[in-house]
Structure 1
Amino acid sequence: MLYLVNLFRHNWIFYALSICISALAAFESGRLLFLLAFLLLFSHYKRLLNIHLLLILIVGIGSYSYFSYEANKLSLPVELPTLLTWTDEYNINGVMLRGFMINESGEKVYVTYELRNEKEKQRFEAQQLAGTSFIVTGKQVSPSIPAHRYGFSMARYLQSRNARGIIEIQQLQYSHQKKSIMQPIFEQRFQLKRHIVETFPPSLAAEAQALLIGFQENVDDQLNRAYQKLGITHLFAISGLHVALVSFLFFQLWLRLRIRRESATILLLILLPLYAVLAGGAPSIWRAVSVVELIMLAQYFRWKIPIDDALSISFIMFVLLEPGAVFQVGFQLSYLATYSLVYSGRILARYSNFWVQSFYITFVCQILVYPLLLHHFYEISLSSFIANIFFVPLFSFIILPINLFALVLTFLPFPLDSFLFYIYEPLRTALTNFILYIQQPIVQMWNPGKPSIMWLILLYSSVFFAFYLLDQHAPLKKVFIALILPAFIFHVQPLLHSDLKIAFVNVGQGDCIVIELPRRKSVIVIDAGGLLRFEQEEWKERKTVYEVGRQVVVPYLKGRGMQTIDTFVLSHADADHVEGAEEVLREILVKEVHVTPGSIAKPVMNDFLYELEKTNTKLIEKMAGHKWQIGQTAFEYLWPLEIEYEGNNDSLVLFVKHNAFRALFTGDLEQEGEKELIQLYDEKLRNIDLLKGGHHGSKTSSIEEFVTVTNPKFAVFMAGENNRYNHPHIDVVNRFEAKNIPYATTGLDGTVEVSISENQIYIEKSNALFRK
């Protein structure tokens, strides 16, 4: 056994990489399996024994077969009705109960259930559902297609959680309470969550739940975004530090109780997995727990397992148990950041000064994960290099221990916790206000966009080369050139394209159009989508509301690397055009906003105007006759003619001409406005290239005369899938089809991206992209 331990010492990383490649190939594309050949070449270069090369190949091929089998199972339909048991991964938000359940075979499915009344909601909120079995009646539905290429993919999320599709539950019939060793832990976690809410001040409860039991759903969205901008969101994730602290406290407690060291080790081996479940079971905590467990087991059996081997074995076990985990962001970042620290040990050991070492630890972690952060989030926080130096020790050695201590005090019969909260709460509130203040500048975020696979490879090549230079004691100048030059080229590459690009972003029932000029000389955004919000009973209100601007428009802009909007056009004051605008203002620098005269007086504009006051953005009312030109692209407002705002027919109508290409964006203009447009601009509007169909394709727009005059080569209707207005109206659709005018509807075709290159028009639809 000792021979085997020595044989595999410092070589487990190659087996972990082999299994990682196999998992990616099984779920993504079998062609990725060719990466095994590069791994074998690299292993040969590192002078691994031939037995290792053979075993790595066998492990890779064998695990690929296993992962392919598991991936195929995920596509099998779920037979209904069936018996399903709740896991502890569920939440109740408004009228919806969502989460994961498992069937009798232990396979996971994602379920949604609409609560029927307030009493039923209260009943579900008052009990711990994990371990409770129900006979489920309903139907299996396909995951929704992302709004665009940078949008959230439900299919990928289900795949990452090894879940077999989505079940829309129509009826839940209680069956029994499943008995297992995990049930008391689930119940304890549920009670702890409630206990924290009941005993901690409201301003501290959400943070305590996140830090102590890994429950982050109650963390304020604004505060969470502030942590993201500072690059310190990971402080809320229970990981190695928490595990180390809990391990140390319990181990020292048992030693003080005169328990033998060997017995204390065994108790800790039993306790840590239970703590991982109690703390929510995130990838970061299982990674930390499994590594500690492996090292303690090795010490118990008098083996010496290096930390890199323990980390690799942990990785292998995790992926074998849940293959889709390779697509989980938390899993990727947790292991990658830890590997960066492990393999940078020699570099970090050169510095003894605490602040210098803290900076290099932050630098090493941030640099190694930055291409991955760009891949998932399209931006990284530049302030994180400094912020982490101060906030990591603050949270690690002050805030976390205080929360642990406070939790213990809340169980004591004496009012000591009240005294602690009296002192701590104002200090913590002041820190929160400070964080909210320093996170405000948008410029601290570097947003070059989402890298392609080729760019991802190039960026990581520069990172690994930089680490090689550091290890070889190369001058820091060379290290920074190796890092910054590829990143700079990636940042400026959008400035090199010569096409005019127009995107009709799928925001559901609403408008959002993004126009990008050649070499990104200017970015124009017309509207930002939005939802009509109606008053409803208090129990139906969601804790976190769906926001089109934040969840659809901003990811598209950031995915494209658009850090600045030169002109933000709000065509008119309807919620489905402007309700998402304030969310865009919070995240993207906007130079000026164009509105139709009189529209800012409408109540729907209030939130937008409130956000606008916090910026230096110009607000300008525009009407027919205003023109401007950038390079070969000319812009002109054709409508409205009057300054009195009355609604849809006062929408800003923008005409765009780029060389011979002509496009018309009509907002919600209806038949009265269309008639006047063709009377005023008959020649200008004849046989245009691209038309944004007015008012989402309503029967009150796109009248016969207007369609005949404009006769577009291509038209787009911006209407939500299965919308209650039946847009685009069948009469309008028939009108376009009768004239053989090709068209797309964003609700059906997804985001429509149009590129104009040398007067040739290229069209790509996101739904077709995701269905390939």
Structure 2
Amino acid sequence: MLYLVNLWKHNWIYYALSVCISAVASFQSVRLLLILGLLVGFCLYKKLWKWHLVGIVTINLLTYSYFSYEVDKLQEPVTLPAELTWTDQYKINGVMLRGIMKDAQGNKVYVTYEIKSEQQKHELQFMQLAGQIYFVTGQQVEPSIPAHRYGFLMGRYLESKSARGIVEIGSMTLVGKKKTFLQPIYDQRFRLKEHIEQTFPNSLAAEAHALLIGLQENVDEELNRAYQKLGITHLFAISGLHVALVSLLFFQLLLRLGVRRELANILLLILLPIYAVLAGGAPSIWRAVSVVEFIMLAQYFRWKIPMDDAISLSLLVFLLIEPGAIYQVGFQLSYLATYSLVYSSRILARYENFWLQSFFITFVCQILVYPLLLHHFFEISLSSFIANIFFVPLFSFIILPVNLALLTCSFIPLPINHLIFTIYEPLRLWLTDLILAIQQPISQMWNPGKPSLFWLVVLYGSVLLAFYFLDKGSNLKKMAATLLIPAIIFHFQSYLHGELKIAFVNVGQGDCIVIELPYRKSVVVIDAGGLLRFEQEAWKERDKPYEVGRQVVVPYLKGRGIQKINTFILTHADADHVEGAEEVLREIRVSEVHVTPNSLDKEVMNDLLEELAKTKTTLIEKMASDGWQIGDVRFDYIWPHDTVYDGNNDSLVLLVRQGAFKTLFTGDLEKEGEEEIVRLYSAAIEQLDVLKTGHHGSKTSSIEAFVEQTSPKLAIFTAGENNRYKHPNIDVITRFEQRQIPYLITGYDGTIELRVKNGVMQLETSNDLFKN
């Protein structure tokens, strides 16, 4: 047996990679199995024993067959009505309950349920749903298509959770409670959650939830974004350091209680998986726990298992249990960062100074994962290289132990906990204020955009080559050049395209248009979407409200690699055009904001003005006759003509021309404004290439004379799918159809992207992109 273990020493990584290839191929395409050829070729170069090559190929084919079978099961429809059991993955937000349930066969299903009353919400909030069996009626629905190419992929999320689909629950009736060996752990986790809420101050409860039981949903949105900007979000994910600390504390406690070392090891082997479930069961937790388990088991049998082999075995087992985990960001980052530290141990061993070693640990992890971070989030924190040096030890050796101590003391019926909170809370709040202060500059984020597959390969190639040079002790300049040259080229590659790009972003019932000039000489954004928010009962309010600017517009801009908006045009003061603007200002640098005269007095503009006060952005009122030119692209405002603001008919109307190409952006212009523009600018607006129709295609816009005069080659309606206003109006659509003018609707066609070069227009919609 010992011979067998030594035979596989340091080679499990190839088997793990083989399984990763088969997992991706089972979800995507069988053709991806060809990547196995590259792995086998590398193994031949490494002169691996021939039976290893046979084993790698065999494992790949076997796991591909198994994963394909599991993926096919995900396509099977959900039988309803049915008895479904809640897992511990669920969340209540406002009137919506969402999460994952299991059917009688153990298949996962993602469900949504609209809570019927305040009483029912109260009952659900104070009930441990995990393990509860409900008789469910409802219907299965297709996952929504992302608003744009950089949007959240619900279908991919379902695959990552190995869930069979989405069920919209019509009614659910409690049947009973499932009895499994995990149920007491779920119950205890729920009790711990409630205990923390009752005993910890409100300002500290969310952090304790995240650090102690892996519950991150209550962390303040602004604070969470601050952690992202500093690159320290991972400190809230229970991972290796947490598991190591808990294991050490528990092991030492057992020894102090007189338990023999051998028995203490066995108890630790049993209790670590329980702790993983209790702490939320995130990939980072299971990775850390399983690695410790493999190493302890090897020691028990007197085997020697290297750390990289333990990690590889952990990854392999993880994917066999849940193949879709290959798409989970936490899974990818956790294993990649851990591998980076293990394979860089020789490099890190060269530095004895604590601060220097801390820097290189951060450097190694950040550099190896940065292409992956760009792929998922389109940006990375430049300050993370320094921030982690201070915050990792602070959280690991002070804040986490303090929270563990506070939790322990909270069960003791003495005032000691109150005393500790009195001392600790002000210090922790001061640290929060410091974090919020130092995260302010937008410039600390590097946002070159989402890399294509080609660029992902190039960037990772440069990273691996740089590590090779670093490992060999090569000149640091050589390593830096290997890393920086591809990154710099990738950063500037978006400035090398000579096309005019116009995107009508699908923000639901609202407007947002992004214009990129050739060679990105300038970026113009017209409106930023938003929601019309109506007063409702307090219990229906969402804990974290949906924000179009933050969740739709900003991801599109960052996915495109847009780090600066030269001109931000807010056509008029309606929520569905400007509510998302302040969220854009928080994340993207803006040079100028243009508004229509006297629209700033409206209440909906208050948040915008508050955010503008924090920046150096220039705010200018614009009207007809104002214009500017950049290169061969001309911008002219042709409306309004007066300074009295009356709403929709005072929208800023922008005419954009590049040679013979003409497009008109009309905001929410209606009949009266269209009549005046036809009278005043008949020649300028005739034979348009693209018309962004007024007021989302309402019956009060796109009048006969205006449509006749503009005669666009393409009309765009910015209207939400199944919107309450029934935009675009059927009569308006008929006007375009009678003239055989093609049209697209953002709510149904998704984000519409136009590329114009030499007067030739190419078109692509996000719905076509994802359907194909």
Aligned residue for 1:702, secondary structure, equals: coil
Separation in 1 of the partners of 2:61 and 2:561?
A: 38
Tell me whether 1:612 sits opposite 2:612 in the alignment: yes
Q: For residues 431-481 of structure 1, give each alpha carbon's deviation from its aligned partner in whole angstroms, at most 9, with x where no partner exists.
A: 000000000000000000000001000000000000000011101000000
Aligned residue for 1:502, secondary structure, equals: strand
Aligned residue for 2:683, secondary structure, equals: helix
Aligned residue number for residue 153 of structure 2? 153
Separation in 2 of the partners of 1:534 and 1:335?
A: 45
Aligned residue number for residue 541 of structure 1? 541
Aligned residue number for residue 503 of structure 1? 503
Aligned residue number for residue 360 of structure 2? 360
Aligned residue for 1:26, secondary structure, equals: helix
Separation in 1 of the partners of 2:687 and 2:740?
A: 13
Letter in 1 for 2:577: H
Aligned residue number for residue 474 of structure 1? 474
Aligned residue for 1:638, secondary structure, equals: strand
Letter in 1 for 2:730: I
Aligned residue for 1:635, secondary structure, equals: strand
Aligned residue number for residue 409 of structure 1? 409
Q: For residues 225-278 of structure 1, give each alpha carbon's deviation from its aligned partner in whole angstroms, at most 9, with x where no partner exists.
A: 000000000000000011001100111111111111111001000100000000
Q: For residues 154-177 of structure 1, give each alpha carbon's deviation from its aligned partner in whole angstroms, at most 9, with x where no partner exists.
A: 111001100001000001011111
Once the two structures are TM-superposed, the CA of residue 556 in structure 1 deviates from its matched residue by 0.1
Aligned residue for 2:407, secondary structure, equals: helix
Aligned residue for 2:684, secondary structure, equals: helix
Once the two structures are TM-superposed, the CA of residue 562 in structure 1 deviates from its matched residue by 0.2
Aligned residue number for residue 423 of structure 2? 423
Moved more, 271-280 or 733-742: 733-742
Separation in 1 of the partners of 2:610 and 2:333?
A: 37
TM (norm. structure 1) is: 1.00
Q: For residues 415-438 of structure 1, give each alpha carbon's deviation from its aligned partner in whole angstroms, at most 9, with x where no partner exists.
A: 101000100010000000000000
Aligned residue number for residue 726 of structure 1? 726
Tell me whether 1:71 sits opposite 2:71 in the alignment: yes
Aligned residue for 1:498, secondary structure, equals: coil
Separation in 2 of the partners of 1:104 and 1:297?
A: 34
Counterparts of residues 210-289 of structure 1 (less than 5 Å): 210-289=210-289
Once the two structures are TM-superposed, the CA of residue 376 in structure 1 deviates from its matched residue by 0.1
The share of aligned pairs that are identical, in percent, is 69
Letter in 2 for 1:483: L
Once the two structures are TM-superposed, the CA of residue 203 in structure 1 deviates from its matched residue by 0.6
Aligned residue number for residue 582 of structure 1? 582
Aligned residue for 1:683, secondary structure, equals: coil
Q: For residues 122-156 of structure 1, give each alpha carbon's deviation from its aligned partner in whole angstroms, at most 9, with x where no partner exists.
A: 11111100001011100000011000000001111
Separation in 1 of the partners of 2:560 and 2:689?
A: 24
Aligned residue for 1:601, secondary structure, equals: coil
Aligned residue for 2:725, secondary structure, equals: coil
Aligned residue number for residue 641 of structure 2? 641
Gaps of 5+ in 1: none
TM (norm. structure 2) is: 1.00
Once the two structures are TM-superposed, the CA of residue 30 in structure 1 deviates from its matched residue by 1.7
Aligned residue number for residue 16 of structure 1? 16
Aligned residue for 2:663, secondary structure, equals: strand
Aligned residue for 2:616, secondary structure, equals: coil
Aligned residue for 1:685, secondary structure, equals: coil
Once the two structures are TM-superposed, the CA of residue 29 in structure 1 deviates from its matched residue by 1.8
Letter in 2 for 1:432: T
Q: For residues 527-577 of structure 1, give each alpha carbon's deviation from its aligned partner in whole angstroms, at most 9, with x where no partner exists.
A: 000000011111111100000000000000000000000000000000000
Aligned residue number for residue 597 of structure 1? 597
Aligned residue number for residue 554 of structure 2? 554
Aligned residue number for residue 521 of structure 1? 521
Counterparts of residues 23-422 of structure 1 (less than 5 Å): 23-422=23-422
Aligned residue for 2:600, secondary structure, equals: helix
Once the two structures are TM-superposed, the CA of residue 211 in structure 1 deviates from its matched residue by 0.4
Once the two structures are TM-superposed, the CA of residue 2 in structure 1 deviates from its matched residue by 1.5
Letter in 1 for 2:318: F
Q: CA-atom RMSD, angstroms? A: 0.5
Moved more, 561-570 or 252-261: 252-261
Aligned residue for 1:247, secondary structure, equals: helix
Once the two structures are TM-superposed, the CA of residue 327 in structure 1 deviates from its matched residue by 0.4
Separation in 2 of the partners of 1:304 and 1:281?
A: 28
Once the two structures are TM-superposed, the CA of residue 517 in structure 1 deviates from its matched residue by 0.1
Letter in 2 for 1:92: I
Once the two structures are TM-superposed, the CA of residue 61 in structure 1 deviates from its matched residue by 1.2
Q: For residues 54-78 of structure 1, give each alpha carbon's deviation from its aligned partner in whole angstroms, at most 9, with x where no partner exists.
A: 1101111111111111111111100
Aligned residue for 1:368, secondary structure, equals: helix
Once the two structures are TM-superposed, the CA of residue 3 in structure 1 deviates from its matched residue by 1.9
Aligned residue for 2:157, secondary structure, equals: helix
Gaps of 5+ in 2: none
Tell me whether 1:455 sits opposite 2:467 in the alignment: no
Letter in 2 for 1:336: L
Aligned residue number for residue 621 of structure 1? 621
Aligned residue for 1:682, secondary structure, equals: coil
Tell me whether 1:692 sits opposite 2:687 in the alignment: no
Once the two structures are TM-superposed, the CA of residue 758 in structure 1 deviates from its matched residue by 1.2
Separation in 2 of the partners of 1:694 and 1:74?
A: 43
Once the two structures are TM-superposed, the CA of residue 598 in structure 1 deviates from its matched residue by 0.7
Separation in 2 of the partners of 1:457 and 1:213?
A: 37
Separation in 1 of the partners of 2:537 and 2:173?
A: 26
Counterparts of residues 654-673 of structure 1 (less than 5 Å): 654-673=654-673
Once the two structures are TM-superposed, the CA of residue 6 in structure 1 deviates from its matched residue by 1.1
Letter in 2 for 1:390: F
Letter in 2 for 1:90: Y
Letter in 2 for 1:525: V
Aligned residue number for residue 682 of structure 2? 682
Separation in 2 of the partners of 1:705 and 1:159?
A: 51
Separation in 2 of the partners of 1:464 and 1:670?
A: 58
